[in-house]
Structure 1
Amino acid sequence: MSDKRVANFTALATSTAPGGQSISLASLKGRKIVLYFYPKDSTPGCTTEAQQFRDLHAEFVKAGAVILGVSRDSIKSHENFKAKMGLPFDLLSDTDEALCTQFGVIKMKNMYGKQVRGIERSTFLIDKNGVIVCEWRGLKADGHASEVLQAVLELS
């Protein structure tokens, strides 16, 4: 458990309007936020993780939490992924890696024997006051959403 205040951020997010919309941390003040970082849209682990957050979405909402997924993919890629998976929450596009840098989730990873820079699958639970109260890093996608829901419920 950490006790870190999150600096305000603004990022382009998916929406019903083409080209997305901006979401800022300040606009979500007073709500619990589940901010999950994932490597890439439409890849197996990221799809599993998104589907599990989707399937538990109603319970997160009931507990007063907003779910936001973040990757370096474009808004167009996010909109396609969101539509294909039927995701009821927004995805943030971090093409300039500003959010990834703020949360320290860019790591060197092994991909097929080569070193590549990528997002380490990580989730942050931010309380109503904008403070990180839980963080998970280097996690496995399957079953993770349930673990995060449990932490949100304990925060309620």
Structure 2
Amino acid sequence: MSLEVNSKVPDFSAACTGGGNFTLSAHTGKNLIIYFYPKDSTPGCTTEGENFRDLHPEFLKADCLVFGVSRDSMKSHENFKAKLEMPFELISDPDEKVCTIFDVMKMKNMYGKQVRGVERSTFVINKKGILVQEWRGLKVPGHAQAVLDFVRTIGD
């Protein structure tokens, strides 16, 4: 069952950086960006994280919280977050529960081999918990700005 735009996102909880847990329902009343990326400290994921970091003040002005998700461990996430000085939390999803809700696990070609991994994707969830926009299989350059441009159009 795939999540569809304009449908309610099922509640979920997962460990996140900063020593806490992310629970979707605890963020009702805020617009959320949840972006999925393949792996901490890899070139594309680093650039994507830096782009979301650099635009973070603008996301806050748009009443929008940002969260990154990958299958990496909490230790890896804490190191990645510190290295990039990210002002937002990273969600650890080693058992792929969150990845499954958003259907981002795909077969990909890596160095000529088929591997199962996270498809770089971003989702915007409005204040009522409704998925209002998604980008799947995206390219990093310009993406965070496109997400910001979109969230600026979301009303209450």
- Please, what TM-score do these two structures have when normalized by structure 1? 0.96
Specify the code of the residue in structure 1 equivalent to 2:17: T
**2:12 paired residue among 9, 12, 23:** 9
Other structure's SS at 1:26 match: helix
- For 1:137 and 1:4, how far apart are their aligned partners in 2? 17
Other structure's SS at 2:153 match: helix
User: In the TM superposition, what whole-angstrom CA distance separates every residue of 1:53-80 from its partner, at most 9, and x where no partner exists?
Assistant: 0000000001100000000000000000
Unpaired segments ≥5 residues, structure 2: none
- For 2:108 and 2:143, how far apart are their aligned partners in 1? 20
1:3, distance to aligned residue in structure 2 (A) = 0.7
Aligned twin of 1:104: 103
Aligned twin of 1:24: 23
Moved over 3 A (4+): none
User: In the TM superposition, what whole-angstrom CA distance separates every residue of 1:92-122 from its partner, at most 9, and x where no partner exists?
Assistant: 0000000000000000000000000000000
CA contact (8 A) 1:14 1:78 kept: yes
1:142, distance to aligned residue in structure 2 (A) = 1.6
Other structure's SS at 2:66 match: strand
1:2, distance to aligned residue in structure 2 (A) = 1.8
Aligned twin of 1:135: 134
User: In the TM superposition, what whole-angstrom CA distance separates every residue of 1:103-152 from its partner, at most 9, and x where no partner exists?
Assistant: 00000000000000000000000000000000000000121000000010
CA contact (8 A) 1:34 1:125 kept: yes
Give matches, 1:52-131, under 5 Å.
52-131=51-130
CA contact (8 A) 1:45 1:142 kept: no
- Please, what TM-score do these two structures have when normalized by structure 2? 0.96
- For 2:118 and 2:69, how far apart are their aligned partners in 1? 10
User: In the TM superposition, what whole-angstrom CA distance separates every residue of 1:15-59 from its partner, at most 9, and x where no partner exists?
Assistant: 1xxxx2111001101000000000000000000000000000000
